[in-house]
Amino acid sequence: MGGKNIGLIGLGVMGQSLALNLQRHGFGVAVFNRTPQKTKEFTSRHPEIMPTYSLEAFVRELDTPRRVLLMLTAGPAVDETIRALTPLLSRGDVVMDGGNSFFQDTERRAQNLEAQGLHFLGIGVSGGEEGALKGPCLMVGGPTEGYGQVSRILTKIAAQADGPCCEYLGPRGAGHYVKMVHNAIEYAIIQIIAEAYDFLTRAGELEISKVREIFDEWNHGELGSFLFEIAVEVLGKMDEEKRVPLVTLVSDRAGQKGTGRWASQNAMDLGVPVPTIDAAVAARNLSAMKDERLNAAKVLGTSRPPTSRFHAGSVESFRAAVEASVIVSYAQGFHLMSRASEHYGYSIPLGKVARIWKGGCIIRAKMLDPITHALETEEPRNLIVSTEFAGRLIPLDPKWREAVKQAKAAGIPIPAINASLDYCDAYRSERLPANIIQALRDRFGAHGYERIDKAGNFHTNWSN
């Protein structure tokens, strides 16, 4: 045996960064990549990491029980590698998938490998290239015995925030489920930031430099977060050739890798409303329809923002709307995880999720301190009714509504901010118009309905 503590397969950006992180913390690392040239180039720059050029050689370099970390593109590549790798492993070895795999795929793989006597861990890795190198947030799911064999390594390389930003979150696909929801919240917050940028630049006709100042001020308050921090960086970057803010030259088609969509679809399956996340996914889909949008602008005309509606208080109104909507984004994500934890038998420790999200990950934010406290002390079904966040949302409400009103009057789409307000209004409504929905369903489909004055299920001949 080669005596290496861990082996890593997949030398993309994240794989390379994690390999360097592992080596820097004193662990012996062997690597393998499907393309030998990439392995050669990487290890020539980092000779302290052991290159291998076949899976057989890779496995021989590992100490037992073997620990293998897959950093591959989610989907068929993971299954193909597992099929090729598992015949070379022994009972009790650990295989970890650190990619953005769909949690149901992780469930399937965990069951298959368990039948072969292998431990399979699905690990959500957040933090991007920089986080992987300097300290990511690690969300682990799988068998506890398997986690016990790798916990020392994972906690050592993780970011630190009130302890290592690495936690065991439940069996089978729990880790990848939490990562999916993490990314969905990320979608929502990025969309909210984009809507604030759009309103300030179009309705307010503010220069990018001024919007940057506003975002920087917000980042030093309750909205302090990694995403606002990098938004300030992005808005400050100038194009070297044209000497204008680079962001103004970036195409308005946003890409996505599917995790937000998965969360939205899964929330529908579980009957958990996450309209802010849904709106963020839909907004990215709409952005991709550039040709259709250009045609619609010709046919329908574009709304011209009446600048007279933008006034001194508009910036503060939008700051309040952004803060409230970010709160709602986290609340929807944790509400979804709570329901999923029950449905899939994960027993996800939500307070620990909030704690590890405070470091290393993309959605790390000042707001996660009170979220952690609320989840660990009150265990609310929904964060918006916790003492902390109800106390925040109530005073934000008037300015939140004012911001929505101004954006609508100016013809600026704010799907995530608007959906957040509608969600909050619906969630706290003692009575919703579902009575007429029940009546209509009974009228056209004889589905029956419940009454408020007596128990049972009723059907009426509504047409007579």
Q: Would the CA dihedral through 40, 42, 46, 49 be positive or negative?
A: negative
Q: How far apart are CA 225 and CA 239, in angstroms?
A: 25
Question: Could you say which of 4, 179, 352, 399 is catalytic?
Answer: 179
Residue type, 461: N
Q: How far apart are CA 253 and CA 250, in angstroms?
A: 9
Residue 355's nearest CA partner among 186, 191, 169 is 169
Contact at 8 Å (CB) between 249 and 161? no
Contact at 8 Å (CB) between 159 and 360? yes
Residue type, 408: K
Strands 119-126 vs 137-141: parallel, antiparallel or unpaired:
antiparallel
> Helix, strand, coil shares of the chain as percentages rounded to 5?
60, 10, 30
- Helix (H) / strand (E) element for 137: namely strand 137-141
Residue 52's nearest CA partner among 66, 64, 69, 38 is 38
CA geometry: angle at 175 spanning 174 and 178, to 5°? 85
Has 186 been annotated as catalytic?
A: yes
Question: Could you say which of 61, 186, 195, 388 is catalytic?
Answer: 186
Residue 113: φ, ψ to 5°: -75, -30
Q: What is the C-alpha end-to-end distance of the chain, expressed in Å?
A: 83
Place of tokens 């952690």: 372
Contact at 8 Å (CB) between 47 and 101? no
Has 179 been annotated as catalytic?
A: yes
Residues tagged active-site: 179, 186
